[in-house]
Amino acid sequence: EVQLVESGGGLVQPGRSLKLSCAASGFTFSNYYMAWVRQAPKKGLEWVATISTSGSRTYYPDSVKGRFTISRDNAKSSLYLQMNSLKSEDTATYYCARHGMGFDYWGQGVMVTVSS
Amino acid sequence: DVVMTQTPPSLSVAIGQSVSISCKSSQSLVYSDGKTYLHWLLQSPGQSPKLLIYQVSNLGSGVPDRFSGTGSQKDFTLKISRVEAEDLGVYYCVQATHFPLTFGSGTKLEIK
């Protein structure tokens, strides 16, 4: 059974950093692109980052480019999102998703609140 | 960026009825490999999103065949035949042809 379990969320002050993790199981992690998608409270879905199978290629929207870094450790079947210079508008539930045939599996999400 | 225009924003339907949701993109979603990376997701209340349809018309794993997707280029439709109570939630289209990936604004389906 495919499972994606996020961790690392919480309350953080504006301008500070936070690192999210996603532990994957039930599939060959190294064979799949992976992504982070977020959802602000009562809002729609927003793509945050995608990483290639080897980690050599990463993609971001302008809203987080230069502040967020997606990475992976295939030996540990883990995905990460390093978030720096956090802003109040980064407050959201962050989902880890397998970027296979569509976004075919999602984690349960982890809440990040940016507030002083 | 590709803008995904999803309509209607909400629907209220009775059990057993059929409904359609439209998703139009500001650019063609045909990738250089000839495939169209337009997918449909359902977010049930309090849940993570779930894949329904990938690449326009392919059913996701375990998705009942009451769901179907059609379309091409810039114009796509999700159809739900014989709506059931478990179908309530917010439906999103998403394009993964062009970076940045973009989602539609969602269609909230309510059961009468």
pLDDT reported for residue A87? 98
Q: Do A106 and B50 touch (CB under 8 A)?
A: yes
Question: Are the beta carbons of B77 and B61 closer than 8 angstroms?
Answer: no
Question: Are the beta carbons of A70 and A80 closer than 8 angstroms?
Answer: yes
pLDDT band, residue A100 (cuts 50/70/90): confident
pLDDT reported for residue B42? 98
The reply to whether B59 touches chain A by the CB within 8 Å rule is no
**Beta pairing partners, A75:** none
A101 has a pLDDT exceeding 90: no
The reply to whether B58 touches chain A by the CB within 8 Å rule is yes
User: HSE of A52 in the Cβ direction (CA atoms, 13 Å)?
Assistant: 6
The reply to whether B20 touches chain A by the CB within 8 Å rule is no
pLDDT reported for residue A9? 97
Residues of chain B contacting A33 with CB distance shorter than 8 Å? none
pLDDT reported for residue B24? 98
pLDDT band, residue A91 (cuts 50/70/90): very high
A29-76 per-position pLDDT tens digit: 999 999 999 999 999 999 999 999 999 999 999 999 999 999 999 999
Residues of chain A contacting B100 with CB distance shorter than 8 Å? 47, 59-62
Q: Do A45 and B94 touch (CB under 8 A)?
A: yes
| Beta pairing class for A10-12 and A110-114 | parallel
Residues of chain B contacting A59 with CB distance shorter than 8 Å? 99-100
B9-58 per-position pLDDT tens digit: 999 999 999 999 999 999 999 999 999 999 999 999 999 999 999 999 99
The secondary structure of chain A, three-state, reads CCEEEEECCEEECCCCCEEEEEEEECCCHHHCEEEEEEECCCCCEEEEEEECCCCCCEECCCCCCCCEEEEEECCCCEEEEEECCCCHHHCEEEEEEEEECEEEEECCCEEEEECC
The reply to whether B60 touches chain A by the CB within 8 Å rule is yes
Q: Do B101 and A50 touch (CB under 8 A)?
A: yes
CA B70, chain centre distance (Å) = 10
Q: Do B60 and A102 touch (CB under 8 A)?
A: yes
Cα(B112)–Cα(B110) distance, rounded to whole angstroms?
Answer: 6
Cα(B3)–Cα(B10) distance, rounded to whole angstroms?
Answer: 19
Placement of tokens 């802003």 in the chain: A87
Q: What is the mean pLDDT of residues A12-37?
A: 98
